[in-house]
Amino acid sequence: MGILKGKVINHSDIDLWVIETTTNHPHGPPIAHKLSGKRKSPKNIDVDGFRRIDGKSIDGHKEWWKILDVNDADIYSSGTDLKVCVAYKRQVPDLHFGAYVTDNSNGWGEPLKIVTAIYKSKSREVIGYEVEGIGRIDERAALSMAKAGELDNIVLVKRGTTKYLRSKPDQISGNNLRQVIIA
């Protein structure tokens, strides 16, 4: 099994800094990458913390939020503020990660893959999903993508031998599948 990695999923339109320390480059300084809105950190990067680029606070803290191990930090817009859904985060000062370099390039990270519509048959059975940036996929493909962690607003659930998709278990209602337009 590989190294467990922290991940930031930026559902908002606000740019963030995400910092990786020495997991991927043991001999260099930590790197703060610019993570634009509607993007997530790459699978091969272990993200250790995040903060806003514009210097405004997230949950009352303007410096770094540290995330541990395999935690996914899902970040959503809440008016002009941001709301964070993560199992564990803690406030740390700017110097917590030491001297770091910034990567201010646009396009770092991966685009989000969000389910935007659910297609049902006349008998109301789910037959497919619309995925932003991909298009319409059938239920089997959606289940496979969810199992691989490739869809960013849903998770795979197994109850006995039955598999189905549901909203991510968090405190945000705007990302629930019930809010998705049923086509």
- Is the Cβ–Cβ distance between 158 and 167 less than 8 Å? no
Q: What is the pLDDT of residues 135-164, one digit of tens each?
A: 999 999 999 999 988 898 888 888 999 888
On the question of pLDDT at 103 being above 80, the answer is yes
The more confidently predicted of residues 110 and 23 is 110
CA-nearest of 41, 58, 51, 53 to 6 is 41
- Distances in Å between the alpha carbon of 67 and those of 45, 58, 128, 153, 175? 13, 14, 34, 20, 22
Asked if 75 and 31 sit in the same domain, the reply is yes
Which pLDDT belongs to residue 78?
Answer: 83
pLDDT for residue 1: 42
Which domain covers residue 91, as residue numbers? Answer: 7-110
Do 151 and 134 fall into the same domain? Answer: yes
Assess whether 84 and 156 both reside in one domain.
Answer: no
Q: What pTM did the predictor assign? A: 0.83
* Residue 97 sits in the same domain as residue 146: no
Q: What is the mean pLDDT of residues 69-84?
A: 87
Predicted confidence at residue 181, as pLDDT, reads 52
Q: Which of 93, 110, 127 is the last residue of a domain?
A: 110
Q: Are residues 156 and 90 in the same domain?
A: no
pLDDT digits (tens, 9 = 90+) for 22-43: 766 677 899 999 999 999 999 8
| pLDDT score, position 11 | 92
What total of structural domains would you count in the chain? 2
Confidence of residue 178 (pLDDT cuts 50, 70, 90): low
